Structure 1
Amino acid sequence: MPEAGMPPVAGTMDGGAWSLLRPKWQMARNRTRHHQQGDLRRIVVVGSVALLFWSATFALALRLLRYFRSAEDIGALLAAKLLAMILLSFGSILLLSNTIAALSNFFLARDLDQLAAAPVRSGSLYRARLAETALHSSWMVALLLVPLVGAYGVAYRGGLDFVLFALAVFVPFLLIPAALGSAVTLLLVNVFPARRTRDLLSVIAAMAVAGLVLLFRAARPEQLARPEGFANFMQFVAALDTPSSPWLPSEWVSEAVVKYLEGKAAWQPLLRLWAAAAVLVGVGHVLYARGWRRAYSMAQEGATKRGTARSARPWLDRALTFLGPLRRELVLKELRVFARDSTQWSQLVLLAVLLVVYVANVRYLPLNGEGVTVLLRNLIPFLNLALAGFVLASIAARFVFPSVSLEGRALWLLRSSPLPVGELLWAKFWVGAVPLLVLALVLVGATNVMLRVTPFVHLVSLVSITALVFPLTALALGYGTFYPRFDSENAAQIPTSFGGLLFMITAIGLIGVVAFLAGRPAARWVVAEHFGRLRDPLDLVVPFAMGVLVCAAATALPLLLARQRLEALERG
C-alpha cells in the first residue's frame, strides 16, 4: 500500500484513462459475444417493454407539447417550464446516484489495490473512474430523456441538426452531477472512512430529496394548473417566464433547448453548461490528485465496531414468543440481516422522505376551486389506490425481491439443515408483508383523511390496499426465488435484474385488475348515491368477490411455486 500523497513514479508508461477502461470494455464486448441460455428471451422481453415505454412516453409528451404550441402567447413558456421541472428531478437523482456510485468506483472497487500500487497517474485514474461513474449512474436517465427530447424535436420541427444540439446540451448536463458527486464523495471519505460513509449516504439521500422538495415547492406547479389564482393574465405569464432556479443546470438546458427550437440564439446557456462542467471536472482533478491516496488509505479502515445492545433483544424475543422457537428465530434472523446491511436499512431514510412528500402533496391538489364537487373528491381516492399500489410494488421490489438472493452462501447451510423450506419462506413473507401492510394503511388512510372522503370510500380503499399487500409480497418473493443473484455484492442491483423487471410487469397488471374490480363498482355506487339513483348491492358483491379470489390466488400460487423451486434446488 503506497503512502498517502506519494507521487507517481517518474518515467513510467501511462497510457491514459483509456488504458484503464479498455479491459472493462473488452469484458463487456466478450460477454455480448458469448450468449447463455435464456439471453435471447430476456433481450426480447426487455426490448419489447422498453419500446412500449418509449412509445407511450413519446406519444404522451408529443400530444402535450402540440397542445402547448397551439397557445401562441404562452406555449413556449409552458414547454420550457415543463422541461425544467423534469430535468430538476432528473438532476437530483443523478447527483445522488453519482455520489453513491463514486464511493464504490473510487474507493471500494476490488481492483483499486492493484491500481494504487501501479505507476498510474492520478489524472488518468480520475478521468477513467469519472467516466465509469457517469456511465453507470446516467444510462437510465439518458434513456428516459430520449423519447422526451424526441417529442420536443418533432413538436417544434427541430430537424436532424437538433439531434447534434441535444447531444451538445445533455452531455455536460450528465457530466456536472458526476463531477460534483465524485468531489463530494472524496471530501466525505477524507473525513470519515468509506465503510462508515455508506451510513452517511442515507443522510445525504434525505438531504437531497428534501432539497428537491423545497425547489419543487418553490416553483409551486399547482399555480400553473389554476391561472384564476393570479390577479391578471400578465402575472401568470410573468410567473411562467421567471426561472424558478436560474442557477441550476436544469434551467440552462431547458432555456437552450427551447431557444434553439424557436430559432433564437442559444449559445449563452450552452456556454454556461460547458463552463460549469469544465470547472467541476478541473476542480475534481485537482482534489483527487492531492487527496485520493490519503482517502483510499482511510477507506481500508473498517468501521468502528458498535457494541451490541443485548439489553434491547429480550423484549423482541418475548414479543415473538407466540410464533414458537423455530419461526421466532427465523424472523429474528431476517431482522438482523436487514439491520446489519447498511445498504438496505439506509434506504428507509430516503423512502420515508418520499412518502412524506407523496402524502403532503395531496394537500396541494386543486380540489377546492370552482367546478370541484364532492363527487370528484370521492372519486380521486380510487386513482390514489392504484398509485399507492405502485408505491408498494416498488418497495417490495427493493426489499422483498432480494431476500432470497441475500442469503448467498448461507443458503447452503440452511439447505443442509433439517429446516423445512416452507418455514424459511414463511418468515421472509411475513417480515415483508407486515411492514408493507402498516405502510399501506397509513398511506391510504392519511390521504383519504386529507381528501375528506365518505366512510364508504374510505372503507373500500383500506380493504382494497390491504388485499393488495399480500399478493405483491408473494409475487416479489416468488420471482426472487426463481431469478436469484447469489453472487451480487450490492442489494440495490438485484431488483434491476430480469426477474425484477418481470415482477414489476406482473405487479402492475395485478394492481390494474384489483383497481378495476374494486374501484369501478365502488365509483359507480358513489355516482349513483350522489345523483339519487337506485343502487343494487349485488353490483358490488360479485366484483369484490372476484377481487378477493384474484388476490388469494396471486398470494398462494407464487408461494407454492417458490417452495417447489427451493425444494428442487435442494435436491439438485
Structure 2
Amino acid sequence: MPDAVANATPMAAAPGALALLRPKWQMARNRTRHQQQGDLRRMVVVSTVALGFWSVAFMLALKLLRYFLSAEDIGTLLASKLLAMILLSFGSILLLSNTIAALSNFFLSRDLDQLAAAPVGSGALYRARLAETAMHSSWMVALLLVPLVGAYGVAYRGGFDFVFFALAVFVPFLFIPAALGSGVTLLLVNVFPARRTRDLLSVIAAMAVAGLVLLFRAARPEQLARPEGFANFMQFVAALDTPSSPWLPSEWVSEAVVKYLSGKAAWQPLVRLWAVAGVLVGIGHVLYARGWRRAYSMAQEGATKRGTARTQRPLLDRVLAFLGPMRRELVLKELRVFSRDSTQWSQLVLLAVLLVVYVANVRYLPLNGNGVTVLLRNLIPFLNLALAGFVLASIAARFVFPSVSLEGRALWLLRSSPLPVRELLWAKFWVGAIPLLFLALVLVGATNLMLKVQPFVHVVSLVSIAALVFPLAGLALGYGTFYPQFDSENAAQIPTSFGGLMFMITAVGLIGAVAYLAGRPAARWIVAEHFGRARDPMDMVVPFAVALAVCAAGTVIPLTLARQRLEQLERA
C-alpha cells in the first residue's frame, strides 16, 4: 500500500506546461499591478512611440502595395513576392534567434536545477520552454508584422475575418523556427557542452552564416529592380510567379495570405504550415524526452583548461600595460565579464551574422544597369551612412547599454572601494567604443569599396561614421546608468526596457542629424562636380563643424551625467 501511494504521488503532483508557465505569468501580472513612480509616464511614451512606428510603417507599406496593385498584370505577383522576401528575412532571424535562446532556456536557466529534480515530465518541460523560447524570440517580429499584415488587409479590402485567418497562418510560422531551433540546440549541446560557449557558438555562427546567405540569395531580390535582365516580359512574369523557395514556410505564408485576400482557396498552404509545425514539435518532444537529461548534465560541465600554468603575464595584459595598473585591470575585468556571459556571446553571433549578410548583399544592388550613373553610385553611401549608424546604435544597445546593469551587486563593492567613478565609466566607454569604431570602419569601408565611390565620398563617410561611434557609446552608457536593471538575469532583455527605448529614439535623432549635416553638403559637392558647376569648399565647413560639435556634445554630456548619477547612487 505505501508503495502504491508513493507511485501515485508523482503522477498526481506532476505539473503540466501551463503550471510551469503560471509563475512567470503571475510575475508579469504583479509588475503591472504594482506600478512604481514613473511607470505611467513610461507606458505613455512607449505606447506613443509604438503607435507612431506602426502608423508610419503601415502607411509606407500600404502606399507601396497600392502602387504594386495598380499594375493589373503583375500587381498581385509583386505583392506576393514582396511578402515572401520579407518573411524569408524574418524567418532566418527567427531561426537563429530561437537556436540561441533555446540554449539559455533549456540548458542554462537558473531554475532548471530545481525542475530537473522535481516530478516534472519531459513533455511538459519541453512544451513550457518551447512556448517561452518562441515568445522571447518572436515578439519583436510579431510586432513588426502587425502593420505589414494590416496593410495587406486594407490594400486587398479584407474583412474582419482576415484577422483570424492571419492568426491561423502566423502562429505556426512563428513556432516552426522555435521547434527547429530547439531541436538543433539539443543536438549541438549533446556534442558540445553548453558551458563551452565558444565552441558551440562557433558552430552556430558557421551554420547561420552559410544558411542565411543561401536563403537570402535563393530569393534573388534584385530581380524586382532589374527586369531588363529578362529576355521578354513573359519571362519576368514567370519568374515572379514561380516561388523562389517552395519548400520554405515563408512562401507558404505568402501564398496563403495572397490567395485568401484574392478570394481563392488557401487551405493547402495553411495545412502545410500546421502540419510541419506539428511534426517539428512532435519530433522535438521525442528528442527532448530521450536526450534532454543527458544534454542538461553535460551543460553543467565547465570548459577544460588547456596547457600548463603560465610562466609569464598573458599577452593582453602586456599589450595593455601602457594604461597603468588600475585602468588595465578595469579593462581586463570588462573583457572577462563579457567573455564569460553566454548571453552576450549569443547576441554577438546574431549581430555578426546579420552584418555579414548586410555587407555581402551590397554587391547585388542594381547599380550597374542601364540608367544608373556614377552620380547615383556616389550618393548611395550617404544613405548607407544612416543605415550603418542605425546598425551601430543597435549594437551599442545590446552591449554598451547593459554594462552598468550587469555589475549587479558588484557595483556596490566597486563603489565602496577608493575607485573613482570616472575610471569605471572610462573603462566601460572605451571597451564599447573601440570595437564599435573598428566595426564602423569595416562596415562603411567595405560597402564603399564595393560601390567604387570617389575618394572624397569615401573619406567623408568614414570620418562621419567614426564620429558617430563616440556619441552612440556615450549615450548608451548614460541611459544605461540612469535606467539600470541590476536584478536582471538575462543581458539580452535589458535593452528592451524603457531606457533602451529612449536610447534608440535619441540615437535615431542623432544619426539623422549627423547624416544630414555631413551628407547634404557633401552630396551637393558631388552633384556640382558631376554637372560642372561652381563649388565652394567653405559651404561644407560650417555643417561639418556643427556635426562634430553635436558628436562631441553627445559624448561628453551623457558621460558627465552618468558620473554624477553613480555618485548620487553612492550617497543614497
**CA, structure 1 residues 211+312, in 2 after alignment: closer, same or farther (shift >3 Å)?**
farther
Distance 1:390 1:324 in 2: 34
Aligned length: 566
1:432-491, CA deviations, whole angstroms, 9 ceiling, x for partnerless residues?
Answer: 222222222222222222222222222211221121111111111111111112222222
For the structure 1 residues 114 and 410, does the alpha-carbon distance in structure 2 shift closer, same or farther, using more than 3 Å as the test? closer
2:200 matched residue in structure 1:
200
Secondary structure of 1:320 counterpart = helix
Q: 2: distance between equivalents of 1:44 and 1:360?
A: 40
- 1:399-418 to structure 2, matched below 5 A, reads 399-418=399-418
CA contact (8 A) 1:202 1:347 kept: no
| Corresponding residue number in structure 2 for 1:280 | 280
* Other-structure match for 1:332: 332
Name the residue aligned to 1:511.
Answer: 511
Residue of structure 2 equivalent to 1:95:
95
Partner of 1:526: 526
Q: Structure 1 residues 233 and 309, CA, compared in 2 at 3 Å: closer, same or farther?
A: farther
* Displacement of 1:366: 1.5
Which amino acid in the other structure matches residue 138 of structure 2?
S
The Cα offsets for residues 521-557 of structure 1, whole Å up to 9 and x where unpaired, read as 1111111122222222321111111111111111110
Letter in 1 for 2:251: E
Cα distance in 1, alignment partners of residues 133 and 155 from structure 2 = 33
Task: State how far apart, in whole Å, the 2-side matches of 1:95 and 1:312 are.
Answer: 44
Length-normalised TM-score, structure 2:
0.93
Structure 2 Cα separation of the partners of residues 198 and 100 of structure 1: 13
1:143-187 Cα offsets, whole Å, 9 max, x none, are 111111111111001111111111111111112122222222233
Given that 1:401 and 1:500 are in contact with CA atoms closer than 8 Å, whether structure 2 keeps it comes out as yes
Distance in 1, Cα, partners of 2:8 & 2:259: 47
How much does 1:41 deviate?
A: 1.3
1:56-103, Cα deviation, whole Å (9 max, x unpaired)? 111111111111111111111111111111111111222222223333
CA shift in 2, pair 1:443/1:109, >3 Å: closer
1:392 is paired with a residue whose SS is helix
Farther-moved stretch of structure 1 (92-101 vs 290-299)? 290-299
Amino acid of the structure 2 residue aligned with 1:467: A
Sort the Cα spacing of 1:287 and 1:359 in 2 relative to 1 into closer, same or farther, 3 A. Answer: closer
Give the superposition deviation at 1:370.
1.6
Structure 1 residue 211, shift from structure 2 partner: 0.8
Match of 2:3 in 1: none
Cα–Cα, structure 1 residues 196 and 326, in superposed 2: closer, same or farther, change >3 Å? closer
Q: Distance in 2 between matches of 1:202 and 1:45?
A: 39
**Does the CA-based 8 Å contact 1:494-1:500 persist in structure 2?**
yes
The yes-or-no answer on 1:458 pairing with 2:458 is yes
Residue 176 (structure 1) aligns with? 176
Correspondence list, 1:405-554, <5 A: 405-554=405-554
User: 1:502 Cα deviation (Å)?
Assistant: 1.0
Equivalent residue number for residue 132 of structure 1: 132
1:270 paired with 2:270, answer: yes
Residues of 2 paired with 1:439 and 1:140: CA distance?
25
**Shift of residue 323 of structure 1?**
2.3
Deviations 1:272-298 (A, max 9, x none): 111111111222222223333333333
- The percent of aligned pairs where both chains have the same amino acid is 87
Q: Deviations over 1:206-242 (max 9, x none)?
A: 4224312111112221122010111111111111111
Map 1:341-352; keep pairs closer than 5 Å. 341-352=341-352
Change (3 A) 1:9 1:190: farther
Amino acid paired to 1:102: A
Higher alpha-carbon deviation: 282-291 or 385-394: 282-291
Structure 2 counterpart of 1:461, one-letter code: S
Residue 144 of structure 1: aligned partner: 144
Aligned residue for 1:156? 156
One-letter amino acid matched to 2:341: D
SS of the aligned residue for 1:506 comes to helix
Identify if the C-alpha distance between structure 1 residues 129 and 343 changes in structure 2 by more than 3 Å, giving closer, same or farther: closer
2:239 maps to 239
Normalised TM-score (structure 1): 0.93
Aligned residue for 1:292?
Answer: 292
C-alpha displacement of 1:43: 0.7
Partner letter of residue 332 of structure 2? L
Match of 1:41 in 2: 41
Q: Which whole-Å deviations, capped at 9, do the CAs of 1:355-400 have from their partners, x for residues lacking one?
A: 3322222221222222112211211111111111111111211221
Q: Distance in 2 between matches of 1:445 and 1:206?
A: 24
Partner of 2:25: 25
Instruction: Tell me the residue number matched to 1:225.
Output: 225
DSSP-derived class of the 1:194 partner: coil
Structure 2: any 5+ residue segments left out of the alignment? 1-6
SS of residue in 2 equivalent to 1:164: helix
How far did residue 308 of structure 1 move? 8.0
User: Aligned AA for 1:140?
Assistant: M
Separation in 1, partners of 2:25, 2:345: 33
Which is worse superposed, 150-159 or 333-342? 333-342
Partner AA of 2:236 in structure 1:
F
Q: Would the aligned equivalents of 1:206 and 1:350 in 2 still touch at CA under 8 Å? A: no
Paired letter, 1:554: G
AA paired with 2:247? W
CA contact (8 A) 1:205 1:349 kept: yes
**Contact (CA 8 Å) 2:69, 2:76: kept in 1 or not?**
yes
Higher mean alpha-carbon deviation, 180-189 vs 310-319, is at 310-319
Q: CA 1:431 to 1:121, structure 2 compared with 1: closer, same or farther past 3 Å?
A: closer
Report deviation, 1:10.
6.5
- Report the equivalent of 1:3: none
Q: In angstroms, what is the RMSD of aligned CA positions?
A: 2.2
User: Relative to structure 1, is the Cα distance of residues 459 and 198 closer, same or farther in structure 2, using a 3 angstrom cutoff?
Assistant: closer
Conservation of the 8 A alpha-carbon contact between 1:12 and 1:119:
no
Q: Secondary structure at the match of 1:12?
A: helix
